[in-house]
């Protein structure tokens, strides 16, 4: 599995000055179409809210800002989870007010605990599921806080009004995004599926034919992780947009799981061959290269072949492998060389079987008729850190308690407003790295929005009458925010501007122009932003921090214990998806090409290779039990491996190596009598070759003798 030198790069000519003009114009057109959809949603929602006599049209209009997205599927997904969060938050508000209708102190305590719990829940989920937790906390506050001091009995009316306003904003946003020149998320999903499929097949073909630069081989695992997580994120959102995508959801999950399985097996095979070459076991390595050569020929022009035809080619290669391997094995006289060749043969058989299944899954996605019969039920399991959630709970709860105490002590009429906005920012930024910097950027945009709101409200709207003129007066100020969100570097500034502008405008019917209330409301909102900023400075978000990366690396290594001890049903899917999610969480906060990035990649490959070997070993033993003594030795080796990955040390490595040796010797003695012992020997041999590789991440732990003996005092 050789690779071409990294210097083999194609030459490129200078592009003409106008080459990027088309892309620029297309980008600008997409941005302004997005602004058009947001503006239509915003103003239609406001008009309907006023026509329906809702008490706070501004809340409905703010909803359109919060759920805005350039793709319709994302708007629908975000809206769905906002509905869930709103309903749960409304129920929580009713319950808390019912418990403490006239006692502000215990009410604020329980409310702070609820908001903190919602912020913690947000850190344990991805995408818009996280957003639903934020909304559950924010909705409870927006319903209960305004009425607790004056009219607690109106909490039910407040809940009905807020739910009605939010639902109106969601419905209008969904309809506009789905009908006015929509950008379909399903197109992005289909492109992601096509890209993953074509790129992986081409990667395998180039690798087995020695046409791939070495650095691309090293980075392939990170690309696999990114593609797997991206596809799952898209699938979980597109089901809200497209009925066909909903019907094919299980097929997409199965396609993604088979992709992860095949990529892991291929990487194990690639590293085994490189390892054998470094160990001067070149005969076995060259025999394996000759063994997989027909696979490279089968993948020629794979992108232009129908998946069914390609699956037939791969199946033929898989069927011919045992006979071809037997002939090649005859040329290996050395027992160790023959054993290493058998390890590679087993990996290649597994990989070709998984590659065929992956191609067949692609064929199922292309079928016109959607059939769920025979589709494996799989789930993408996430890897979470509950300590980070605990810190988010403490930070948010303390912030809410301090603001509540300030409200009670001062009797500030706008104290409830300050708590409301602090709830939003504390929840939204609990899951992001460097929350202080993002809060500063959002605050800058928010301040600009407040200034624009003042100019719009008191310099423009006071001179206009009627909804049509109101739209004309607000529109020039409003479109700045949505447009800025289309620019990645200015997205936080644009979102802050839009939220600040809409929040301070607080449109009502009839509109009331009160400069004193305006400045008090502005002060309360800036106080909330300052409180959120200080809370993130005193107790920073752990997302992306070195401390959390170390914990995530430990969790990644602990996946080997899951492979060694977890329940076998569904274990492979759970193992691979959790690995992908953990690696993705770490790599997005790691500098590409850095030492941390290389070490992450090395551990991820070691965990994948060892974990998959242990899972297959356990499955083989479950199908055909081993003799008692051999079973005990294999269990001891598996446990020692789990201990080493859980807490790497030289002593743990030495103990795992000793247990692997003993279990391998015992399995070798039984290999002639029991087929399962031969399979077990292959798995153990594969793991041990990785453990003794002095070019792997385990190299620093390799020792010749038990290091604990070196620490004992010498006899005189």
pLDDT in tens, 91-107: 999 999 888 877 778 88
Say if residue 196 is in the same domain as residue 262: yes
Residue 34: in which H helix or E strand, if any? helix 21-51
453 vs 577, residue with greater confidence? 453
Most confident segment among 13-22, 344-353, 502-511: 344-353
Residue 3 has pLDDT above 60, yes or no: no
Mean pLDDT of the chain: 82
Backbone dihedral region for residue 382 (phi beyond 0: left; psi -120 to 50: alpha; all else: beta)? beta
User: How much of the chain, in percent, has pLDDT values that exceed 70?
Assistant: 87
Residue 130's region, left for phi above 0, alpha for psi from -120 to 50, else beta, is alpha
Q: Are residues 468 and 401 in the same domain?
A: yes
> Within this chain, do residues 190 and 82 fall inside the same structural domain, yes or no?
no
Q: Which of 506, 538, 570 is the last residue of a domain?
A: 538
Structural domain harbouring 106? 28-183+385-538
- Mark whether 44 and 69 lie in a shared domain: yes
* Band (715; pLDDT cuts 50, 70, 90): very low
Q: Which of 492, 515, 538 is the last residue of a domain?
A: 538
Tell me, yes or no, whether 194 and 310 share the same domain: yes
Residue 207 has pLDDT above 80, yes or no: yes
What band does 659 get if pLDDT is binned at 50, 70 and 90?
very high
In a domain, 590, yes or no: yes
Predicted local confidence at residue 10, as pLDDT = 43
CA 690, CA 268: separation in Å to the nearest integer?
10
Q: Which residue has the higher pLDDT, 349 or 79?
A: 349
Output the domain CATH number for residue 243. 1.20.58
For the chain, the residue count is 716
pLDDT band at 606 (very low <50, low <70, confident <90, very high): confident
Examine the pLDDT at 16 and tell me if it is beyond 70.
no
Q: Quick one: 532 and 572 in the same domain?
A: no
Q: Are residues 143 and 241 in the same domain?
A: no
Higher-scoring residue by pLDDT: 159, 230: 159
* Cβ–Cβ < 8 Å for 260, 268: no
Same domain, 534 and 551: no
* SS3 at position 676: helix
Q: Report DSSP letters for 144-209, one per residue.
A: HHHHHTT-GGGHHHHHHHHHHHHHHHHHHHHHHHHHSS---HHHHHHHHHHHHHHHHHHHHHHHHT
Q: How confident is the model at residue 14 (pLDDT cuts 50, 70, 90)?
A: very low
Q: What is the value of pTM for the model shown?
A: 0.75
Question: 425 with 505, same domain?
Answer: yes
**C-alpha span between 184 and 181 (Å, rounded):** 9
CB atoms within 10 A of CB 4: 13
More confident residue, 560 or 331: 560
In a domain, 6, yes or no: no
Instruction: Give the model's pLDDT for residue 716.
Output: 37
- pLDDT tens track for 429-467: 766 767 788 888 888 999 999 999 999 999 999 988 889
Q: Judge whether 156 lies within some domain.
A: yes
pLDDT digits (tens, 9 = 90+) for 667-692: 888 866 667 888 888 889 888 888 88
Comparing 86-90, 161-165, 372-376, 634-638, which segment has the lowest mean pLDDT? 372-376
* More confident: 430 or 109: 109
* 661 contact partners, CB below 8 Å, separation of at least 6: 688
Residue 513 predicted with pLDDT over 80 = yes
Is residue 715 in some structural domain? Answer: no
Q: Is the pLDDT of residue 270 over 50?
A: yes
Write the pLDDT tens digit of every residue in 147-202.
777 777 788 888 898 889 988 998 898 889 888 888 877 888 888 888 889 888 98
Q: If you average pLDDT over residues 251-266, what whole number do you get?
A: 86
Total of domains in the chain: 3
Q: Is residue 287 part of a domain?
A: yes
Of the two residues 130 and 520, the one the predictor is more confident about is 520
**Do residues 643 and 584 lie in contact, with contact meaning Cβ atoms separated by under 8 Å?**
no
pLDDT at residue number 406: 84
Q: Of 8-22, 276-290, 516-530, give the lowest mean pLDDT range.
A: 8-22
Does the residue 17 lie in any domain? no
CB contact at 8 A, 65 and 80: no
- 296 and 391 part of one domain: no
Same domain assignment for residues 202 and 78: no
Sign, CA dihedral 532-535-537-542, equals negative
Spatial separation of the C-alpha atoms in residues 395 and 390, rounded to whole Å: 9
CA distance 464 to 510: 13
Residue 106, in any domain of the structure? yes
Q: Is the pLDDT of residue 81 over 50?
A: yes
Query: Residue 11: its pLDDT value, please?
Result: 43
């Amino acid at each position: 599995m050789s690779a071409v030198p990294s210097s083999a790069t194609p030459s490129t000519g200078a592009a003409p000055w106008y080459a990027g003009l088309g892309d620029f114009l297309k980008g600008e057109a997409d941005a302004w179409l997005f602004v058009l959809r947001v503006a239509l949603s915003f103003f239609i929602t406001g008009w309907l809210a006023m026509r329906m006599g809702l008490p706070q049209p501004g809340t409905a209009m703010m909803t359109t800002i919060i759920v805005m997205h350039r793709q319709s599927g994302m708007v629908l997904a975000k809206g769905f989870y906002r509905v869930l969060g709103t309903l749960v938050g409304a129920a929580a508000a009713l319950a808390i007010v019912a418990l403490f209708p006239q006692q502000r102190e215990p009410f604020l305590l329980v409310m702070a605990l609820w908001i903190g719990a919602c912020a913690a829940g947000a850190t344990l989920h991805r995408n818009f599921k996280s957003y639903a937790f934020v909304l559950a906390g924010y909705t409870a506050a927006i319903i209960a806080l305004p009425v607790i001091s004056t009219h607690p009995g109106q909490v039910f009316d407040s809940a009905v009004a807020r739910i009605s306003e939010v639902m109106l904003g969601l419905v209008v946003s969904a309809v506009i995004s789905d009908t006015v020149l929509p950008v379909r998320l399903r197109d992005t999903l289909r492109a992601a599926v096509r890209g993953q499929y074509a790129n992986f097949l081409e990667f395998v073909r180039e690798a087995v034919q020695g046409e791939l630069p070495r650095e691309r081989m090293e980075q392939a695992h990170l690309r696999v992780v990114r593609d797997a997580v991206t596809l799952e994120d898209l699938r979980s959102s597109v089901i809200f947009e497209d009925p066909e995508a909903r019907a094919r959801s299980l097929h997409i999950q199965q396609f993604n799981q088979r992709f992860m399985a095949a990529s892991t097996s291929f990487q194990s095979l690639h590293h085994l061959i490189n390892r054998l070459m470094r160990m001067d076991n070149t005969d076995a390595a060259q025999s394996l290269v000759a063994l997989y050569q027909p696979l490279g020929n089968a993948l020629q022009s794979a992108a232009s072949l129908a998946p069914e035809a390609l699956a037939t080619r791969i199946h033929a290669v898989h069927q011919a492998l045992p006979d071809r391997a037997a002939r090649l094995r005859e040329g290996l006289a050395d027992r160790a060389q023959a054993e290493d060749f058998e390890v590679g043969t087993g990996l290649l058989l597994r990989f070709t079987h998984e590659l065929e299944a992956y191609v067949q899954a692609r064929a199922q996605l292309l079928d016109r008729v959607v059939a769920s019969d025979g589709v494996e039920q799989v789930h993408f399991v996430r890897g979470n850190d509950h300590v980070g959630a605990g810190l988010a709970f403490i930070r948010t709860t303390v912030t809410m308690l301090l603001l509540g105490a300030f409200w009670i002590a001062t009797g500030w009429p706008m104290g409830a407003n300050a708590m409301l906005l602090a709830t939003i920012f504390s929840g939204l930024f609990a899951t992001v790295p460097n929350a202080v910097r993002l809060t500063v950027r959002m605050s800058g945009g928010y301040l600009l929005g407040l200034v624009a709101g003042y100019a719009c409200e008191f310099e423009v709207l006071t001179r206009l009458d009627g909804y049509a003129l109101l739209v004309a007066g607000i529109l020039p100020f409003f479109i700045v925010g949505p447009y800025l969100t289309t620019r990645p570097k200015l997205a936080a500034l644009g979102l802050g501007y839009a939220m600040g502008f809409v929040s301070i405008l607080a449109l009502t019917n009839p509109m009331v122009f009160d400069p004193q209330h305006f400045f008090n409301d502005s002060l309360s909102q800036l106080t909330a932003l300052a409180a959120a900023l200080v809370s993130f400075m005193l107790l920073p978000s752990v997302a992306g921090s070195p401390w959390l990366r170390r914990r995530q690396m430990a969790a990644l290594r602990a996946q080997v214990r899951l492979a060694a001890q977890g329940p076998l049903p569904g274990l492979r899917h759970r193992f691979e998806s959790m690995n992908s999610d953990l690696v993705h969480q770490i790599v997005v906060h790691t500098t590409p090409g850095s030492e941390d990035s290389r070490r992450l990649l090395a551990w991820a490959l070691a965990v994948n290779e060892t974990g998959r070997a242990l899972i297959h070993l356990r499955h083989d033993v479950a199908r055909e039990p081993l003799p008692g003594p051999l079973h005990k030795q294999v269990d001891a080796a598996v446990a020692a491996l789990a201990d080493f990955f859980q807490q790497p040390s030289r002593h743990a490595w030495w103990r795992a190596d000793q247990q692997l040796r003993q279990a391998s010797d015992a399995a070798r003695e039984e290999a002639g009598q029991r087929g399962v012992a031969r399979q077990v020997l292959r798995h153990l041999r594969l793991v041990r070759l990785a453990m003794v590789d002095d070019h792997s991440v385990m190299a620093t732990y390799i020792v010749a003798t038990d290091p604990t003996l070196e620490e004992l005092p010498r006899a005189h």
